[in-house]
Amino acid sequence: MFTPRAAWTDAPEQLRAAVADALGCAITGHTDLQGGMSPGPAAALRLTDGRTVFVKAMSAEVRAHNHLLVGRESVVLDLLPESVPAPRRLATVESGAWIALVTTWAAGAAGELWSDASIDAVVAACRTTSGHRAPEGLRPVVERIYDFDGWERVVAAGPADEWEAAYARRAADLAVGWARWTAGDALVHRDIRADNTAVDTATGSATLLDWAYAAAGAPWLDLAQLAADIVATGHMLGGQVAADRAYRLIQTLPPEAARYVVALTGMWRIRAATPQHSVLPTISAWRRERVRALRPLVTRLITDRVGAA
């Protein structure tokens, strides 16, 4: 379902040489990685000094947006205190249209599905993260949230099926005011998904990966995003367990967390309906699948909330 990624050897020789230069070591081997939404290469690099490091690279000519995100993540990583469970930036290299970011390797690259152990580890990592005040230099989360008016636009365009006829209006009402109720001064990652986490089973601790969307926001926000992803990505023990774990997690959070999950689903719904990008051929299907998986949870949250509102 993820975007097929280019191989590390598809990146220009000049860029790869510049990476080795910046690290002060030759690269003795590499393993290409899959996962994530970027079409650019991501790889584990083995270095002559024995280290393994992570690299991702992107050409602005392939997709300018992803190129920008790599640059932005480089800046964000330097702002994060040591106590945040994130990889450390080792180098950022630009060569022609290309940019590469090298970070420390995070043990335990994410499995495809959630397990109770990985949920627990990522919940702890999110709580540690949001226990920090957002560093100076991070933008307010309102600038890192998109299309939260998705359900409103579904209502305006006309519902596509019976579920939308029954629920889209109420979903749109719950999303209203999101710019206000997502605001805060906590450090938030804002893009928690299974493929943006690494869980080290030896220590039971998680590293959060892929920090381009980090922002200052409400402290519950990453846990709400995690709850949505448990359902959208799935749990090893099946859909019912995923729904149960997500619902229980949301119940531990302020009421805005439920509204966030509803609004986020509206974002995927409206984005799935927008034309596909030629370099991200599978993204609309991926978004549609997320909406399908999330509908029962969204129905439950709407039913809970509408009575309470």
Ligand X SMILES: Nc1ncnc2c1ncn2[C@@H]1O[C@H](COP(=O)(O)OP(=O)(O)OP(=O)(O)O)[C@@H](O)[C@H]1O
Under the rule (CB under 5 A), what is the footprint of Mg ion? 36, 196, 210
Q: What is the 3-state secondary structure (H, E, C) of 239-302?
A: HHHHHHHHHHHHHCCCCHHHHHHHHHHHHHHHHHCCCCECCECCHHHHHHHHHHHHHHHHHHHH
Task: For the CB of residue 207, give the shortest distance to ligand X in the complex, in Å.
Answer: 7
Task: For the CB of residue 51, give the shortest distance to ligand X in the complex, in Å.
Answer: 12
Count of positions on this chain that bind ligand X (CB under 6 A): 19
Cβ-proximal residue to Mg ion, closest one: 36
Task: For the CB of residue 301, give the shortest distance to ligand X in the complex, in Å.
Answer: 26
Residue among 244, 229, 255, 248 at smallest CA distance from 174? 255
Answer for the pair 209, 198: CB distance below 8 angstroms, yes or no.
Answer: yes
- When CB distances are held under 5 to 8 angstroms depending on the partner's kind, the choice from Mg ion, ligand X, none that residue 172 binds is none
Answer for the pair 204, 239: CB distance below 8 angstroms, yes or no.
Answer: no
265: β partners? none
Task: For the CB of residue 192, give the shortest distance to ligand X in the complex, in Å.
Answer: 11
Binding ligand X by CB under 6 A: which of 175, 198, 214, 270? 198
Binding mask 222-261 for ligand X (x = CB under 6 A): ----------------------------------------
User: Does residue 209 interact with ligand X by CB under 6 A?
Assistant: yes
Q: Within the chain, how many helices (H) and strands (E) appear?
A: 10, 9
- When CB distances are held under 5 to 8 angstroms depending on the partner's kind, the choice from ligand X, Mg ion, none that residue 105 binds is ligand X
Give the span between the Cα atoms of 41 and 214, in whole angstroms: 22
| Cβ nearer to ligand X, comparing 18 with 107 | 107
| Cβ nearer to ligand X, comparing 58 with 258 | 58
84-143 positions binding ligand X, by CB under 6 A: 87, 103, 105-106, 109-110
Q: How many CB atoms lie within 10 A of CB 281?
A: 12
3-42 positions binding ligand X, by CB under 6 A: 33, 35-38, 42
Give the span between the Cα atoms of 193 and 259, in whole angstroms: 18
The angle subtended at Cα 227 by Cα 224 and Cα 229, nearest 5°, is 110
| Cβ nearer to ligand X, comparing 64 with 156 | 64
Amino acid letter for position 67: H
Task: For the CB of residue 211, give the shortest distance to Mg ion in the complex, in Å.
Answer: 10
| Cβ nearer to Mg ion, comparing 36 with 39 | 36
- When CB distances are held under 5 to 8 angstroms depending on the partner's kind, the choice from ligand X, Mg ion, none that residue 103 binds is ligand X
Task: For the CB of residue 125, give the shortest distance to Mg ion in the complex, in Å.
Answer: 15
Answer for the pair 205, 125: CB distance below 8 angstroms, yes or no.
Answer: yes
189 contacts: CB under 8 Å, gap ≥ 6: 126, 129, 196, 208, 211, 213, 214, 222, 225
Per CB under 6 A, residues contacting ligand X are 33, 35-38, 42, 54, 56, 87, 103, 105-106, 109-110, 195-196, 198, 209-210
